[in-house]
Each structure stands twice: as structure tokens, then as C-alpha cells.
């Protein structure tokens, strides 16, 4: 009985540690959430090691999971845009008004921003275009 309790305790400790490591690997995340219409649904996740992960879920040009390493120049451009978004839109309304609007969730260094509709900051639109172009470029390689 004592061994069972020790085994369960150790498994809980290691699973919590793995979850913390996984969360710390996310530097930037952009998620497009579903709506009742034809909204794109996908996630982009960027790690500090310059690994860009894409998960295309619905109504996107590219479906499925794709992972690739980006150049330092591309990484720096993404971080520059993310920092602009994070500082300039820190006080953006956290609860979107309206129903069935396309939602974009932007997470950078544990700061989160939820944007409803098409009235997105131009920097976020530029960042989405950049990430999609990187995805398409790496599809052809």
C-alpha cells in the first residue's frame, strides 16, 4: 500500500513538471476561434527555440499539424510585431461585445488579448499575414 501511494505521488509530481515545461515553451500563440459561419479555426504557436507550430482545424487553406524552424530574421520580425501589439493594446477591452463574431486570441509572454470581429490592430493583421506566408513557404519545401 505504501509503495502504491509513493508511486502515485511521483507520477503526479512528474506530470505537473511536464505541464510546466510545456507551458514555458510557448512564447507566442495566436488562435482563431470558431463561429457559426465559415470562420477560420487554427493555432500558431512559437517557441523560444524558433519552432513554429501550426494546427489547422477548420476553414483554412492548410489543415492538420505542421512544425518547422524559422530563421532568426523571421523570428525577430515576429517578436517585434508581438511586442508592439502587447504594449499598444494592453488596455484593449477584454470582453468582446456582440455575438458570433470571429475571435482571435493573442498570447505573448503570458499576456492575453481577445479580439472580436474584423477590427483588429493593423500589427496583428500583419503578424497573421506573416505567419501564414511562413506556413505556405514551408509547405512547398
| CATH code where residue 86 lies | 3.30.1560.10
| Mean pLDDT along residues 47-52 | 96
Whether pLDDT at 122 is above 50:
yes
Task: Name the pLDDT band for 20 (thresholds 50, 70, 90).
Answer: very low
Q: Say which residue, 74 or 8, is predicted with more confidence.
A: 74
Judged against a pLDDT cut of 70, whether residue 110 lies above it is answered with yes
Residue 10 lies in a domain: no
Does 37 fall in a domain?
yes
Please tell me the predicted confidence (pLDDT) of residue 21.
Answer: 39
pTM recorded for the entire structure:
0.76
4 occurs within a structural domain? no
Is 13 part of a structural domain of the chain? no
Domain with 78, as residue range(s), is 25-139
99-103, long-range: CB within 8 Å, 24+ apart, which pairs?
A: 100/35, 100/36, 100/37, 101/35, 102/32, 102/33, 102/35, 102/39, 102/40, 103/32, 103/33, 103/35
Does residue 41 fall inside a structural domain? yes
Residue 72 has a pLDDT of: 97
Q: By C-alpha distance, which of 92, 20, 32 is closest to 56?
A: 32
The confidence score (pLDDT) of residue 22 equals: 45
Classify residue 108: in a domain, yes or no. Answer: yes
Number of domains the chain contains: 1
Domain assignment present for residue 19? The answer is: no
Average pLDDT, integer, range 43-71: 96
Name the residue with higher pLDDT: 15 or 36: 36
Amino acid at each position: 500500500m505504501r509503495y502504491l501511494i509513493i508511486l502515485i505521488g511521483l507520477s503526479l509530481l512528474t506530470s505537473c513538471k511536464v505541464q510546466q515545461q510545456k507551458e514555458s515553451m510557448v512564447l507566442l500563440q495566436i488562435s482563431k476561434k470558431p463561429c457559426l459561419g465559415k470562420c477560420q479555426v487554427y493555432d500558431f504557436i512559437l517557441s523560444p527555440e524558433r519552432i513554429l507550430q501550426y494546427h489547422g482545424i477548420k476553414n483554412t487553406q492548410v489543415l492538420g499539424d505542421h512544425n518547422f524552424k524559422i530563421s532568426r530574421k523571421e523570428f525577430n520580425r515576429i517578436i517585434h510585431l508581438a511586442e508592439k501589439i502587447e504594449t499598444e493594446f494592453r488596455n484593449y477591452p477584454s470582453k468582446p461585445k456582440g455575438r458570433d463574431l470571429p475571435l482571435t486570441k493573442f498570447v505573448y509572454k503570458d499576456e492575453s488579448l481577445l479580439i472580436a470581429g474584423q477590427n483588429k490592430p493593423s500589427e496583428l493583421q500583419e503578424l497573421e499575414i506573416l505567419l501564414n506566408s511562413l506556413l505556405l513557404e514551408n509547405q512547398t519545401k
